[in-house]
Chain A
Amino acid sequence: MTHAADLPGWAALLTAALVLVGAALALAGAIGTLRFRTFFERVHAPTLGTSWGTGSIVLASIICFSVLGSRPVVHEILIGVFITVTTPVTLMLLARAALYRDRAEGSGNVPAHPARRAGALKAEQDRAVDGGR
């Protein structure tokens, strides 16, 4: 860790704080997945690590290398953007898969399928029309 001595004090302290915050958020998310009881609660936990957890470690890396190289190094931002865009996609697909599986088994308190809900509504209306006739 010889390069750390080249960093000015403020940059080293800022990097240290950001790295700690990011890792703490990731750890909090991991503890969350252990403590929550249902899958839909657990879906929320990893987003701690992927939103500001990743954000602050990426920021720490940007500050560290920009000050070391005394020129702006911003390519780490690509990781931040990539994680921000891809994590919701993964989580949405997983949530839909979980919804599909729960519905297929008829278990869990999940909202009913929209087509089935609409179908039930239509059947009700048909019955009302039949009754009126």
Chain B
Amino acid sequence: MSRVLPYPVLTAALLLMWLLLTSFSPGQLLLGAIVAVAASRAMAALQPAKPRLRRWQLIPWLVGIVLLDILRSNIAVVGVILRGPRDHSAGFVAIPLDLRDETGLAVLACIVTSTPGTAWIEHDPGSGVLHIHVLDLVNEEDWVALIKNRYERLLMEIFE
């Protein structure tokens, strides 16, 4: 099983994408399956580190939280832009992270950067210190607590 389908999730995602791009028919299903299996085996030849999913049941919960937070910070950032540039204080925040899993860090980076109002700047893998830039910085502790309690704990449960 693992030799034929080294990355089952990737294969399924590629097949789904193929079917979304073309219209659904048995022929397209077959062709898409061939392409997806071939592509995932090509991926295996590259030998990337294989991500482990411990508790994938939590992923929909994470997606829901992130979509809601992005919506809220959209409104907050529109407020900052309309109030004018002088009315906020932007700055860097250093956050000591306990998350070490590479996939988890990549997901955290995507979450932080795609949320308006926070941007991932730099992560030092040695010390685990992450720098983010926050647009509307009122209290540094709040942001550290937000990242650590809201996202990092969930990501550690999923990936570690």
Q: Footprint of B on A, CB under 8 Å? A: 25, 28-29, 31-32, 35-38, 40-41, 43-45, 47-48, 50-52, 74-75, 77-78, 84-85, 87-89, 91-92, 95-96, 99, 109-111, 114, 118
Name the CB-closest residue of A to B123. A114
Given known pairs A92-B109, A95-B120, A95-B121, the reply for A51 and B78 (CB within 8 Å) is no
Any chain A CB within 8 A of the CB of B127?
Answer: yes
Name the CB-closest residue of A to B113. A88
In the assembled complex, the CB of B22 is this many whole angstroms from the nearest CB of chain A, namely: 9
Q: What is the bound-complex CA distance between A35 and B77, given in angstroms?
A: 13
- Our count of residue pairs bridging A and B at CB distance below 8 angstroms stands at 103
Q: What is the bound-complex CA distance between A110 and B71, given in angstroms?
A: 28
Q: Footprint of A on B, CB under 8 Å? A: 17, 20-21, 70-71, 74, 77-78, 80-82, 84-85, 90, 92, 94, 109-110, 112-122, 124, 126-127, 129, 131, 133, 135
Further pairs besides A87-B114, A88-B110: 17, Cβ < 8 Å = A28-B78, A28-B82, A31-B81, A32-B80, A40-B121, A43-B133, A45-B77, A47-B77, A48-B116, A51-B74, A77-B20, A95-B120, A95-B133, A99-B121, A110-B92, A114-B124, A114-B129
Is the CB–CB distance between B117 and A78 below 8 Å? no
Chain A interface SS verdict (over half): helix
In the assembled complex, the CB of B40 is this many whole angstroms from the nearest CB of chain A, namely: 18
Given known pairs A32-B81, A35-B85, the reply for A51 and B120 (CB within 8 Å) is no
Q: What is the bound-complex CA distance between A40 and B133, given in angstroms?
A: 7
Set of chain A residues within 8 Å of B70, measured between Cβ atoms: 51-52
In the assembled complex, the CB of B53 is this many whole angstroms from the nearest CB of chain A, namely: 18
Is the CB–CB distance between B84 and A114 below 8 Å? no
Name the CB-closest residue of B to A44. B135
Is the CB–CB distance between B113 and A92 below 8 Å? yes
Is the CB–CB distance between B74 and A50 below 8 Å? no
Is the CB–CB distance between B81 and A35 below 8 Å? yes
Task: List 5 tightest A-B contacts by C-beta distance, closest first.
Answer: A88-B113, A114-B124, A32-B81, A47-B116, A88-B110
In the assembled complex, the CB of B120 is this many whole angstroms from the nearest CB of chain A, namely: 5
Set of chain A residues within 8 Å of B114, measured between Cβ atoms: 47, 50-51, 84, 87-88
Set of chain A residues within 8 Å of B133, measured between Cβ atoms: 40, 43-44, 95
